[in-house]
Amino acid sequence: MSAASGSEHFLEHAPLDLRDWLVQFLTHWLHLTGLLQWMLHNLISIVMILAVFGLFFAFTTIAERKLLGRLQNRLGPNRTGLPKFSRLFGGWHFKHKLFGLSQPFADAIKALTKEDIVPAEADKLLHFLAPVIVVAFSLMTFAVLPFGRHFIPVEMDAALLYFFAAGSATELAIFMAGWSSRNKYSLLSAMRALAQLISYELPLILSVVPVVLVTSTLSTQNIVLAQGSWTFGVLPHWFVFTPWGCAGFLIFLVSALAESNRSPFDLPEAESELVAGHLTEYSGFKYALFFMAEYFGLTALSALGVTIFLGGWQAPCEFLQIIPSYLWFMGKLILMIVFFIWVRGTLLRLRIDQLTRLSWKFLVPLALINLVNGGFWALTTEWSGPLQIARWAISIVVIVVPFLLMGRKLSTGFAPRTYRYAP
């Protein structure tokens, strides 16, 4: 076991050691002083996040298109191979299409070379700033996510608060985009987007609060550490496996879908119905930036969901800890993203009234009840033996009964639909 833990230890630390070595090397070579050294140290972290999640974004787009295709019995993009530099290499070129995996790079080149059109009447400065701000804020949320046991860009006590503050700031950028375009449709859809985002901000945050109650910390790293034990070495103590955690996770999933403007809540930019919502007047790379921010937001929210409910970088079984923690984190993150794509390929888009009704009449009350449930769980940590069973039973009843009652009330008069004249 010592050899295994030794190798695990080495891999856990290896990227950090590499960074420290690079900083030291450059410090010696360039004679950097304290402040510059600190800046270099953080710059390397930032570049790493940008590189890793930039690539992650690129491959999410291709994975999404391929998966959606498969969900609809299509093939998805599989044409883009490597460019044919036949003239450079004497007529030789790489013939394999690489399963279309270089598609995102082709898309990026296309977006970069497209003409950037700014409406004549637009507020030029805000029109330019909106995509920049939306990307900046969605990237800022990555700063407090613990990607591995030792991998957290900024260790902050109020990390959750920071995450939601930075995440909600993108709403400002969306309204900026709608308003600065000087197009009434952009403005209207920006307002709709805002209505949606504000409606779902509430259940999103409320679903996270029970975790804060139970762990009594706002630090993401401590929340992950609180989930780091196993019953019999195989059953992980992730919060998703508790009644209140499971309910919170489901509320979180639905709200995260709505917060990241994804199907079935993609009303602000409903491709098949509207032109492009608040993105109507954007083209070329600015549009690509909004697109990028949307995926960054989705990735960040998925990563937060993984951190809070799915045990973060913790391995599902004790003996699986040989695999480095950051790989577990990325694996869980990929599973979350795949689930979101699966949902996108399955569900139909909601109407705006259905959307807000779902939030205010169902998710918010349920999240509030779940908050009570989490408080109960936090107060009964000492219960053991038969009381432990009672604790689980009470917690399950407290959340399942309101779910069933409210669910019945929400769907009365809506389903199942009967057709009078059609067979």
Partner 1 sequence: MLGSGILKGLAVTAKNFVGSYHDPKRMVTVEYPEQKTNIPENYRSFPFLVSENAEDPMGSLRCVACQICEKECPPQCIIIEKSKDKKPDAAGKMQLYPAVFNIDTSVCMSCQICVEVCPFDSIKMDQVFEVAATERFNELLLTRERLAKPNSYYHQIHPTEAAEVDGRLTAERQAAAEKAKAAAAAKAAAAAAKPVVASTQPAPAPVAAAQKSPPPAA
Binding site for partner 1 (CB under 8 A): 67, 70-75, 342-343, 345-347, 403-404, 406-408, 410-411, 415
> In one letter, which amino acid is 24?
Q
Rounded Cα–Cα distance for residues 115 and 317 (Å): 52
Nearer residue to partner 1 within complex by CB, 31 or 96 = 96
Nearer to partner 1, 30 or 400 (CB): 400
Burial class (CB in 10 A: 0-12, 13-18, 19+), 380: middle
List CB contacts of 157: < 8 A, sequence separation 6 or more.
217, 218, 219
Give min distance, CB of 338 to partner 1, in A.
Answer: 10
Distance CA 246, CA 291 (A): 30
Q: How far is the CB of 96 from partner 1 (least distance, A)?
A: 14
Distance CA 290, CA 278 (A): 10
Instruction: With beta carbons less than 8 A apart as the criterion, state whether 172 and 126 touch.
Output: no
Considering the complex, what minimum distance in angstroms separates the CB of residue 72 from partner 1?
Answer: 7
Residue 53 or 340: the one with the smaller Cβ distance to partner 1 is 340
Nearer to partner 1, 408 or 420 (CB): 408
Rounded Cα–Cα distance for residues 245 and 242 (Å): 5
**What does 19-55 look like in DSSP terms, one character per residue?**
HHHHHHHHHHHHT--HHHHHHHHHHHHHHHHHHHHHH
Q: Considering the complex, what minimum distance in angstroms separates the CB of residue 55 from partner 1?
A: 24
Strand partners, 231: 235
Which residue shows structure tokens 């004679």? 31
Q: How far is the CB of 71 from partner 1 (least distance, A)?
A: 4
- Could you tell me if 139 and 173 are in contact, meaning their C-beta atoms sit under 8 angstroms apart? no
User: At its nearest, how many Å lie between partner 1 and the CB of residue 357?
Assistant: 13
Q: Is 234 exposed, middle or buried (0-12, 13-18, 19+ CB in 10 A)?
A: exposed
Closest separation between CB of residue 403 and partner 1, Å?
7
Buried residues in 33-72 as b, exposed as e (16+ CB within 10 A): eeeeeeebbeebbeebbeeebeebbbebbbbbbbbbeeee
Q: Which is nearer to partner 1, 287 or 309 (CB)?
A: 309
Q: Which is nearer to partner 1, 216 or 411 (CB)?
A: 411
Pick 202 or 410: Cβ nearer partner 1 = 410
Residue 411 C-beta: closest distance to partner 1, Å:
6
Query: Closest distance between partner 1 and the C-beta of residue 149, in Å?
Result: 33
Separation between Cα atoms, residue 277 and residue 269, nearest integer Å: 5
- Kindly tell me which of 67 and 176 has the beta carbon lying closer to partner 1: 67
| Complex with partner 1: residue 220 or 370, whichever CB lies closer | 370
Distance from the Cα of residue 214 to its chain's centroid: 23
